[in-house]
Structure formats: structure tokens, C-alpha cells
């Protein structure tokens, strides 16, 4: 079949289904706008809409594969560059950590909005815009001479990643026939997992051989390749229904999460000053308003009623805590290797590679084990292994062998997938079909925001520990950093202890059958917690 195939069913525009987001509207009165492509209608997808069939679907998706790989690579590469950024721009760790926090916060704010964006803007236009933004952001970071400029470029990259990640999953639902969607999601999962496996190692090698700027130069090259592939190959007949958009919800979401994370982040440099307390209060108040609005308006940006399902919110809290623990550890580990043990960025990156590989393999296996054994036993295994690994991190000193550090990292990277995959699956399994997409988005947003806050808290604890060490007359910077890192590891262990506590309330149950009524299921936001868990 050539790319210029004919349309076998001209009635697609009158379908009651919104292929952009898997939306079953129950009405065919409004004619949606379709991206102008030629395709062949294949077998119906769930909900009755015909699924387009492409001769080379993976070629169609190539640009998005590169884009999502780039986003995950960017998210997992920056921790190892923090010490160099602190030296280059003469900033504190509390300021430098915004390179991690700002990126994750941008993703968390943008994700809930993508479903609406895809109903208003052509998918190809949106992806090209996102990749162009990433390219500009990467170039800005490459040539930045001040930290604020560097951070601005980094946040632009986060916005781009927040767009392309859910768009990839929405496109998969339209580009591949139903019989191939599972395999396509598997390819997407491999793309997502491969990036964090090599991210720290590649970043460390580039810093050691050239400088931290080479990381962003590499990002720019990959973004350019993704942009070209998208422009040449990406087509998908995603309908644009142009529903009402609640701008106030979008503003409240960005302002609330932004103020809350900013307040936590500034504690390390400013303490609990009036300005910091003000930010925290504003964040909490605005988020309360946001939650109330989502529960009361007809077309919420995010349907928070899923949080009212007890069997959902318990594992949702658990997966967020485990993800926060992972981000705290992954923020501390590369810095302790460099600033505490005196290793180069190249060696530090190489030492993180085995843990990344093991994490990817365990992530693949944890889902199958959940189907066989349920969530609770897997959570207990994951908690035990993560606690052992965290305890080993806590015991490490400047004279400890590198092998001990390597063992601790591998053990943690084995334990975390057992927690995250099982709790994520249990959470989504608890929801009826009409809430599945919103539940996935809630999980993903919670993880991104909790991860940002966790990184900020770990930084605050480092600052507190350094102040305590200096006040006690400590004079060895390396020993001091190793000592203060233990505060961060204790924080991670406390999060894992919370997971253990909540695990006793975890219910094993069969999946509810979806209600056989017209419902709205937004596939565009189903990048969800699955994608971020794969990247952890």
C-alpha cells in the first residue's frame, strides 16, 4: 500500500468517536476537523471508530520516538552535571537543583493540558512546535552565560517533553491497527527505558571529554533529527473537536504547583522566610481552588473524582512516594560520587550504568509478576530491597570501596520497579473505564510534582547538613558531603517506610468492568505514570 491510498469510508468525519483522545461522545452532530492525510480505513478501534492503517507505521512514528527518547534522556542526564554547573555559575546546590526541578515541574504542568491541545491543534503542528521549542531551548542552554538564561532554556525543554510524551501514545492509538497496538506500546516502552539506562553514562562521558555544554549540544542534534523525521513522515488522522477550554484551571494548575515547588526549593537558600512561607501558602490555596473547580465545573481539565476511589488513591500515594524516593536517590548518588568520593563525572556515569540496565530489566518483568501475584507481595519485596540499598548508601564513607556504592545502587534499582509497577497497575485496575485516562494523568502529574518536591527537599537537607557540619568544626569537604548526604538518604528511606505503611491498606481485587455507556476516555494523556515509571 502506498502513502497515497484512498479512503474507503468517507463517513469518518461523522463518527461519534474522537480519535484524538479515544473520546466516545455519543453524538455525531459536530463535524470535527481532520488532519489532511491519505490513509486506508482498517478494522474498528474500541468505540466504533475506524482505525487508519499505514504501510509503514513505525516510520510514521519515527519522529515521535526520537522526541520521547530525547525527553527521557534529558530528564535523566542532568543530575550528574550539577557539580559542574555549581562551579561554572558560582551558584549553590539549592539554585542548581532548579535544572532538575524546573524541568520536571514544566512536564507536570503541561501534561494535563495536552488532551485539550490535541483537540484544537493539528497533532503534527503541535509536535513540530514542541520539537522546535526543545531545539531552541537546547541551543540556549549550550551557549548560556548566566544561570537564569540556562534555566529558561531548560524549562522550555520541559514544556516540550510534556507535549510529546502523551502525544506519542495518542498517535499510537490512531496509526496502528488494534491488533498491533500492544506491540507498538512495547516499542514505545523500550524507547522510554533505553534513555535513562544510558543517560547518566553519556552525560558523564561528555562532561569528562568536553564540558557540560556538550550535553545540550547533543540534545540539539537529536531534536533536529526528530524535527526532520516528524516533518517528513508524521501523519495521523486525529480529529479536532475544539471543545471549551477552562483557561482558569490551566492558570491555577501552573500557579499552584509552581508556587508550592518554588517555596520548597527556596528553603535551602532562604530558610522559612516570609517570602518562602508566602509562596507555600499561595501554592496550597491556589491548588485547593483548582481542586474545587475541577470537581464543580462541567468540563474539568482533570477529573479528580478518581481520587475519591479508595482503591485508587492508596496505591497512587504509594507510587508517588516511591518515585519521589527514586528521584531523591538519583539526585544524591552522582553528586556523592563526584563531590564525596572524588570520582570524575565519566567514572560516576559509568558506575550508574549497571543499575540503569537492571532497572529496565526489572521493569519489564514486574508487570508480569503483578498479573500473577498481585501488588502487595511485590511491594513488600520492593520495599525490602530498596531499604537494604538505602541502608548501604547510608553506611558509605569516603574510604568505602566503590563496589559497595555500586551494590547499593543496583539493589535500589531492583527494588523500585517492584513498587512502582505493581502500585501503578493496582491503582489503574481499581478504576472503571470512564476514569482510566484521568486516573493515568493524575498518577503522572502526582509523580512529576512529587519528584520535583522530593529533589527540592533533598537539596534542602544537603544544605542543612552542610551548615551543621561546618558549625561543628568540620574542615574536610569530601567527608562533609558524604556525611550530609545521609540526611537525603534518610529522607528516601522515610518515603519507603510510608509505602510500607500504606501497603497494609492495599486491596487485591478484580478489575471492574467498564460501564457500557458513552464515555469520554482521553488517550492523549495516557502517557501516564507508566511512561515515567519506565524512566525512573
Per-residue pLDDT of the chain in tens (536 residues, 90 and over written 9): 444 333 333 333 333 333 333 333 333 334 444 444 433 434 444 444 444 556 678 888 898 999 999 998 998 888 889 889 998 999 888 788 889 888 988 888 888 788 778 778 888 999 999 999 999 999 999 999 999 999 999 999 999 998 988 888 778 777 887 777 666 776 777 787 788 888 888 999 999 889 999 999 999 999 999 999 999 988 866 666 677 778 888 888 888 888 888 888 777 667 778 888 898 899 899 999 988 998 888 878 777 887 888 788 888 899 899 989 988 888 888 888 888 788 888 888 888 888 888 888 887 777 778 777 888 888 999 999 999 999 998 888 777 788 888 999 999 999 988 998 888 888 878 877 667 667 777 887 888 888 888 888 888 888 777 777 777 676 777 777 788 788 888 999 999 999 999 988 887 654 444 444 344 444 444 444 445 555 55
Q: Which helix (H) or strand (E) holds 165?
A: helix 147-175
Cell of 419: 513498587
Give the C-alpha separation, 382 to 1, whole Å.
48
CATH 1.20.1250.20, domain 309-536, yes or no: yes
Neighbours of 344 (CB within 10 A): 14
Write down the pLDDT at residue 381: 92
pLDDT of residue 5: 38
- Residue 235 neighbours by CB distance under 10 Å: 21
Lookup: cell for 4 = 497515497
For the whole model, what pTM was predicted?
Answer: 0.74
pLDDT computed for residue 148 by the predictor: 94
Q: How far apart are CA 79 and CA 72, in angstroms?
A: 13
Cα separation of 525 and 532, whole Å?
A: 13
- All three cell numbers of 378, joined, read 511485590
Which of 75, 95, 76, 77 is closest to 85 using CA atoms? 95
Spatial distance between the Cα atoms of 293 and 302, rounded to a whole number of angstroms: 10
C-alpha cell at 442: 493524575
Residue 23 backbone dihedrals phi, psi, to 5 degrees: -90, 125
β-pairing, 40-44 vs 50-53, is antiparallel
Give me the pLDDT at residue 9, please: 36
Check residue 11 and give its pLDDT.
33
CB within 8 Å of 111: residues ≥ 6 apart = 162, 165, 166, 441, 444, 445, 448, 525, 527
Confidence at residue 49, expressed as pLDDT on a 0 to 100 scale: 46
State the Cα–Cα distance between residues 161 and 167, nearest whole angstrom.
10
Contact 396, 405 (CB under 8 A): yes
Ramachandran bin of 48, using left for φ above 0, alpha for ψ from -120 to 50, beta for the remaining angles:
left
pLDDT score at 104 = 84
What fold is seen in the domain 1-243?
Answer: Growth Hormone; Chain: A; (1.20.1250)
Q: Mean pLDDT, the chain, as a whole number?
A: 78
Say what the pLDDT of residue 535 is. Answer: 53
What nine digits make up the cell of 276? Answer: 518562602
pLDDT (0 to 100) of residue 3: 42
Residue 51: phi, psi to the nearest 5? -100, 130
Looking at 136-279, which runs of residues are DSSP E strands?
Answer: 239-240
Q: What is the pLDDT of residue 386?
A: 93
Q: What is the pLDDT of residues 82-135, one digit of tens each?
A: 889 998 999 888 788 889 888 988 888 888 788 778 778 888 999 999 999 999
Instruction: Match 501552573 to its residue by C-alpha cell.
Output: 254
Amino acid at each position: 500500500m502506498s502513502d497515497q491510498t484512498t479512503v474507503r469510508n468517507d463517513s469518518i468525519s461523522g463518527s461519534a468517536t474522537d480519535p484524538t483522545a479515544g473520546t466516545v461522545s455519543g453524538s455525531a452532530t459536530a463535524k470535527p476537523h481532520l488532519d489532511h492525510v491519505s490513509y486506508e480505513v482498517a478494522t474498528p478501534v474500541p468505540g466504533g471508530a475506524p482505525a487508519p492503517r499505514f504501510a509503514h507505521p513505525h516510520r510514521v512514528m519515527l519522529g515521535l520516538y526520537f522526541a520521547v527518547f530525547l525527553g527521557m534522556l534529558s530528564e535523566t542526564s542532568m543530575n550528574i552535571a550539577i557539580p559542574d554547573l555549581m562551579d561554572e555559575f558560582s551558584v549553590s546546590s539549592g539554585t542548581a537543583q532548579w535544572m532538575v526541578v524546573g524541568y520536571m515541574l514544566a512536564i507536570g504542568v503541561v501534561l494535563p493540558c495536552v488532551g485539550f491541545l490535541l483537540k484544537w491543534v493539528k497533532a503534527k503542528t503541535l509536535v513540530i512546535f514542541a520539537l522546535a521549542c526543545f531545539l531552541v531551548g537546547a541551543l540556549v542552554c549550550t551557549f548560556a552565560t548566566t544561570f537564569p538564561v540556562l534555566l529558561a532554556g531548560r524549562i522550555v525543554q520541559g514544556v516540550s517533553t510534556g507535549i510529546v510524551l502523551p502525544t506519542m501514545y495518542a498517535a499510537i492509538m490512531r496509526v496502528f491497527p488494534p491488533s498491533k497496538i500492544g506491540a507498538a506500546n512495547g516499542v514505545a516502552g523500550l524507547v522510554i527505558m533505553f534513555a535513562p539506562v544510558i543517560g547518566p553514562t553519556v552525560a558523564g562521558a561528555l562532561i569528562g571529554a568536553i564540558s557540560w555544554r556538550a550535553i545540550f549540544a547533543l540534545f540539539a542534534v537529536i531534536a533536529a533529527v526528530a524535527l526532520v523525521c516528524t516533518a517528513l513522515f508524521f501523519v495521523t488522522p486525529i480529529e479536532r473537536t475544539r471543545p471549551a477550554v477552562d483557561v482558569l484551571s490551566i492558570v491555577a494548575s501552573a500557579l499552584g504547583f509552581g508556587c508550592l515547588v518554588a517555596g520548597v526549593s527556596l528553603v535551602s537558600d532562604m530558610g522559612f522566610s516570609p517570602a518562602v512561607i508566602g509562596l507555600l501558602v499561595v501554592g496550597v490555596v491556589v491548588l485547593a481552588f483548582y481542586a474545587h473547580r475541577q470537581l464543580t465545573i462541567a468540563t474539568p481539565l482533570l477529573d479528580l473524582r478518581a481520587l475519591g476511589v479508595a482503591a485508587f488513591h492508596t496505591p497512587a500515594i504509594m507510587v508517588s512516594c516511591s518515585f519521589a524516593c527514586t528521584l531523591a536517590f538519583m539526585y544524591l548518588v552522582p553528586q556523592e560520587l563526584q563531590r564525596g568520593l572524588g570520582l570524575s563525572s565519566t567514572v560516576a556515569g559509568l558506575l550508574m550504568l549497571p543499575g540503569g540496565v537492571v532497572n529496565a530489566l526489572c521493569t519489564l518483568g514486574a508487570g508480569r509478576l503483578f498479573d500473577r501475584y498481585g501488588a502487595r507481595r511485590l511491594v513488600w519485596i520492593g520495599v525490602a530491597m530498596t531499604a537494604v540499598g538505602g541502608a548501604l548508601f547510608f553506611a558509605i564513607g569516603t574510604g568505602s570501596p566503590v563496589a559497595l556504592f555500586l551494590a547499593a545502587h543496583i539493589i535500589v534499582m531492583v527494588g523500585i520497579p517492584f513498587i512502582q509497577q505493581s502500585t501503578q497497575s493496582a491503582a489503574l485496575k481499581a478504576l472503571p473505564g470512564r476514569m482510566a485516562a484521568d486516573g493515568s494523568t493524575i498518577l503522572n502529574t502526582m509523580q512529576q510534582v512529587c519528584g520535583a518536591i522530593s529533589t527540592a527537599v533533598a537539596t534542602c537537607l544537603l544544605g542543612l547538613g552542610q551548615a551543621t557540619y561546618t558549625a561543628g568544626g568540620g574542615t574536610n569537604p569530601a567527608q562533609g558531603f558524604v556525611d550530609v548526604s545521609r540526611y537525603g538518604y534518610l529522607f528516601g528511606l522515610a518515603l519507603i517506610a510510608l509505602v510500607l505503611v500504606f501497603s497494609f491498606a492495599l486491596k487485591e481485587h478484580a478489575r471492574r468492568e467498564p460501564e457500557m455507556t458513552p464515555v469520554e476516555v482521553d488517550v492523549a494523556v495516557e502517557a501516564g505514570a507508566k511512561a515515567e515509571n519506565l524512566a525512573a
